Amino acid sequence: MSLIVMKFGGTSVATVERIRVVAQHVKREVDAGHKVAVVVSAMSGVTNQLVAWVKEANELYDPREYDTVVASGEQVTSGLTAIALQKIGVKARSWQGWQIPIKTDAAHGSARMIDIPGNALLASMASGEVAVIAGFQGVEADGERIATLGRGGSDTSAVAIAAALKADLCDIYTDVDGVYTTDPRMVPKAKRMDKISYEEMLEMASLGAKVLQIRSVELAMVQGVRLRVRSSFVAPDQLKPFKLGEHSDVGTFVCDEDEIVEKHVVSGIAYAKDEAKVTLFGIEDKPGVAAAIFGPLAETNINVDMIVQNVSEDGKSTAMTFTVPAADLARSLDVVKAHKSKIGYRELKAATDVVKVSVIGIGMRSHAGVASSMFKALSSKGINIEAISTSEIKISVLISADYTELAVRTLHTLYGLDA
């Protein structure tokens, strides 16, 4: 008998009919003898409606009231899911954040959990009840105001609850059946991975493979919570119940790299289209210029990603290229222009027809030559690299958006990922 946490996102609980399917997935695990805590999101679309109402009432809303309004979405799903479980003979009760209590800090709207006492939940589960927990919400530790964790916070709730309950597994049910080596819509040969390390998943998620909330993966890594991503749209009887030590069921495990025996040099290829490129020409090649550019951007909370400074040819004048989220481009240009005299550039250019393509793999740590093979392969297809950034387990290049598909397919084949 194991203790598992099963998390179901908005599309998995979009209607009462879908909630019935969720109940069947839960029943499968209960019937196998497991203790189960379920974490649910709001029915898909509900949170957007609630947020729209709040903004209609006041664009500058009080975040404590925002939380009170928005947390109601998960409250509804938790009750309906408990009822659907009872309907098929599974004992269940719903839990709101304040009932557990999931204590958070006071940062309403994007609160962080600071403590989850597991005793009430464990006592309920020991009595044979499935605990159906409203995700995304908690209660401010120093008061009794409802707090929410920010959009997508239900994944993070699930991981934190799994840690508090010392669960054997945290299953994240969503509308895809796992994590793929790259976007299957772009590359039909993309394969579902059986396992991926936390570190790789973090790079995948932040690079656009939006299966799991980044925060939830970070928390799982820190707390050592084993995650599995799988689909709630598979018929409940087509999946086998969890069995400790068995890893070969449908879905992708996200776990410590020690658990991954066969370490691929490259595990996956990600791409991000929402990047914008800014280039400043004719800046002086002297100390303090970079600070003059990036200081004001940081103060404006603009997240600069890649930075490339060209080598100066004449020792005096050079060019600086950096990328920002496309949504922040206009603001970024305003900031740069406002500081023109301090920065001292001649010309400013910006482009949004760029894409960042990344290859990710923990095997890179012990394997040289990944970057050079990547550059060579792209070059052989006539793809020009505009910027490069690297981490221990990732290499990213900025290229023209026209070549996205060609680049991703080329690299997917290059690193032996084609199914």
44 binds a copy of itself (CB under 8 A): no
Q: Which stretch binds a copy of itself (CB under 8 A): 26-34, 66-74, 182-190, 276-284?
A: 66-74
**Smallest gap, in angstroms, from Cβ of residue 107 to a copy of itself?**
18
For residue 388, give the amino acid letter.
I
**Smallest gap, in angstroms, from Cβ of residue 14 to a copy of itself?**
12
Give backbone dihedrals phi and psi of 208, rounded to 5 degrees, phi first.
120, -10
51 binds a copy of itself (CB under 8 A): no
Q: Using DSSP, state whether 36 is helix, strand or coil.
A: strand
**Smallest gap, in angstroms, from Cβ of residue 44 to a copy of itself?**
14
191 binds a copy of itself (CB under 8 A): no
> Do the beta carbons of residue 81 and residue 94 sit within 8 Å?
yes
119 binds a copy of itself (CB under 8 A): no
Closest to a copy of itself by CB, 62 vs 347, is 62
- How far CA 282 is from CA of 289, 313, 349, 397, 400, in Å, comes to 12, 11, 12, 24, 23
- How far CA 245 is from CA of 34, 90, 189, 226, in Å, comes to 14, 26, 29, 12
Q: Which stretch binds a copy of itself (CB under 8 A): 83-91, 211-219, 327-335, 345-353?
A: 83-91
Sequential DSSP letters for 370-405: HHHHHHHHHHHTTPPP-EEEEETTEEEEEEEGGGHH
50 binds a copy of itself (CB under 8 A): yes
Options 2, 44, 48, 75; binder of a copy of itself; rule CB under 8 A = 75
Closest to a copy of itself by CB, 63 vs 361, is 63
Closest to a copy of itself by CB, 57 vs 114, is 57
Options 2, 24, 61, 401; binder of a copy of itself; rule CB under 8 A = 61
Closest to a copy of itself by CB, 119 vs 341, is 119
Closest to a copy of itself by CB, 87 vs 376, is 87
Q: Which stretch binds a copy of itself (CB under 8 A): 52-60, 312-320, 342-350, 380-388?
A: 52-60
Options 33, 127, 144, 258; binder of a copy of itself; rule CB under 8 A = 144
- Between CA 59 and CA 145 the distance in angstroms is 21
**Smallest gap, in angstroms, from Cβ of residue 65 to a copy of itself?**
4
Query: Could you tell me the two tokens for 224?
Result: 């050592």
147 binds a copy of itself (CB under 8 A): no
> Do the beta carbons of residue 137 and residue 43 sit within 8 Å?
no
99 binds a copy of itself (CB under 8 A): yes
**Could you tell me how many residues make up the chain?**
419
- How far CA 64 is from CA of 190, 225, 297, 372, 389, in Å, comes to 43, 30, 29, 51, 40
72 binds a copy of itself (CB under 8 A): yes
ω into 117 cis (within 30 of 0):
no
**Smallest gap, in angstroms, from Cβ of residue 15 to a copy of itself?**
9
337-365: burial string, b at 16+ Cβ within 10 Å, e else: eebeeebebeeeeebeebbbbbbbbbbbe
Closest to a copy of itself by CB, 92 vs 269, is 92
142 binds a copy of itself (CB under 8 A): no
94 binds a copy of itself (CB under 8 A): yes
Query: Which ranges of 230-328 would DSSP assign to H, the alpha helix?
Result: 289-299
- Between CA 305 and CA 321 the distance in angstroms is 11
The strand pairing partners of 135, in sequence order, are none
What burial class does residue 13 get, using C-beta atoms within 10 Å of its C-beta: 0-12 exposed, 13-18 middle, 19+ buried? buried
Options 84, 176, 204, 414; binder of a copy of itself; rule CB under 8 A = 84
**Smallest gap, in angstroms, from Cβ of residue 278 to a copy of itself?**
37
Element (H, E) at 156: helix 153-164
202-221: contacts with a copy of itself (CB under 8 A)? none
Query: Could you tell me the two tokens for 102?
Result: 């999931």
> Do the beta carbons of residue 227 and residue 212 sit within 8 Å?
yes
Residues that bind a copy of itself (CB under 8 A): 16, 19-20, 50, 53-54, 56-58, 60-62, 64-69, 71-73, 75-76, 78-80, 82-84, 86-87, 93-94, 96, 98-99, 144-146
